[in-house]
Structure formats: structure tokens, C-alpha cells
Amino acid sequence: MTTFTATPSDGAAWVTGASSGIGRALALDLAGEGFTVYATARSEDELAELAGESTGLKGRIVAAPGDVTDMDAMAAIAARIDADGNGLALAVFNAGVYLPVHGETLKVSDFDKTFAVNLSGVVRGLVPSIDLMKARGRGQIAIVSSVTGYGGMPTSAAYGATKAALINMAESLKFDLDKFGVRIQVINPGFVDTPATADNAFEMPALIQPEEAAKRIAQGLKSGSFEITFPRRFTYVLKALQFLPYPAYFWLMNAATGWKKRPLETG
């Protein structure tokens, strides 16, 4: 079966987590290509401002506010997009939160919120989107994960767990989605300068700006690759580390982040 790559003539695009960071920049890039982009986040004001910025582009951005943890809201947005023009052709599930987790000050609430947004929040948009695309026999879905899904890193016990799950989810779904013409990809960026990474307590090598990340994603959506990852000089190194025995892996992570020398959190 020919790999489907969505174009503006095929229908609309949907980007979640579109009020800031990668999602915001990607929505503008896709609108620049000519897509009608439905932008979802909780902030109506920020989405209205984003929609205004699309004036003059080949396409347009339509504010579609909603909470990704609300199953009914996500289904309603998917149905709204499907009723517009040629329907939903491309969905990029990007919404996510990063709550640093320290082993000495664990909070169940940090895990619950992270899982609700990063994992369940993707599923709540993914399921109705696949149903609509399956009915048409074509569609393209991209799930934004992270290189933290490759292996454990300091403070990422909750965040990294969700990203590892998203990688596995995309890999598993591909076997069936290929059969009915729905293409799925996973996006594993390195460190991007967004509100989610602003409070990281360690050095972030190869840090890039959201606009650069969005351009890399837009290019990757047109490629034949299952995984979109960048910058490769950094992400491929992290992927290769998974082949090391655990003692070497933990030694290198501690050396790279200086984590072993950091004092314990006290509150």
C-alpha cells in the first residue's frame, strides 16, 4: 500500500498543545503550507492570538480550544474538523507537561497529572481521529514523544515513562493502521527551548528553538520515515546508549548531567 502523506488538498490538520512551544510554531508552519489548521489548547485567548497571526498565510489557523484530558471535548473537536471541507487529513498530538520528579520527594499527583495529559491526552484525540480516517481509507497521524522515552534520565520518571509508552503505542498501532491506509509516525525531539524545559536543573546539550523544531517536524511529515528525530548528532547518541550494559549507562548519565554530585531535594 502506498504511504499516505497529507497535503492541504486532502483536508485539515489538527495540532494539540498549540498555544506555545513546538505546537504553536508547527501550527504556523502548516498554515504557511496551505493547511487549515485546527489548533487545540486550553487557553482560548492564546489560540485566538495564534489564529490572528495566520492572517496572510496560504492557509489559516482555527482556534479549537479544549482540554486533552476531556474525552468528550476531544471527540467533539475531531467531529467538528471532519465536518469541515475534506475532513481530517493530518493530526499531530503534541500536548504535554513536564513535572520534574525527584526520588526523595515523590508525589503521586505529579505522576497522575503527567500520565493524564501526556498519555491519556493523546489517546483521547487519537481514537476518534483514527475512526474518522479509517472510514475514509486515508490519514496521517504523528505523536510527539521525546528522546527521554529511549531510557531513564534524571527527574524524568513520570515524563519519560509517558514518552516511552507513546513510542511503544505508535510502533504497535502501525501494524494495523498500515492495513487501512492510515499512516502513523512518532516524533522524538531532543531538547527544545520551551516552557516545559525552562526549569530543567541540568545542562541540555544541542538545545534548539521551537521554530527550528517545527521546521524539522514539517519536513519529517513529508518523509517516508516512521520516526522523526532531531538533532541526530544528539538523539542518535542517546539511542545508542541503550545498547550499553546498565553500569556503563548509569555512569555515563551521571557524568553527562553531573547528577551524582547534586544534593538531595529537601522539600
Cα-based distances in Å from 190 to 98, 130, 151, 221, 265? 14, 27, 13, 17, 26
User: Which of 38, 98, 150, 159 is an active site residue?
Assistant: 159
d(CA 182, CA 97): 27
Contacts of 164 (CB under 8 A, 6+ apart): 145, 148, 149, 150
Residue 192 phi/psi, 5° resolution?
-120, 140
Q: Clarify whether 98 is annotated catalytic.
A: no
Place of cell 526549569: 199
Range 214-227 burial, b when 16+ CB lie within 10 A, else e: bbbbbebbeeeeeb
Identify the burial level of 72 via C-beta atoms within 10 angstroms of its C-beta, where 0-12 means exposed, 13-18 middle and 19 or more buried: exposed
Residues marked as catalytic:
159
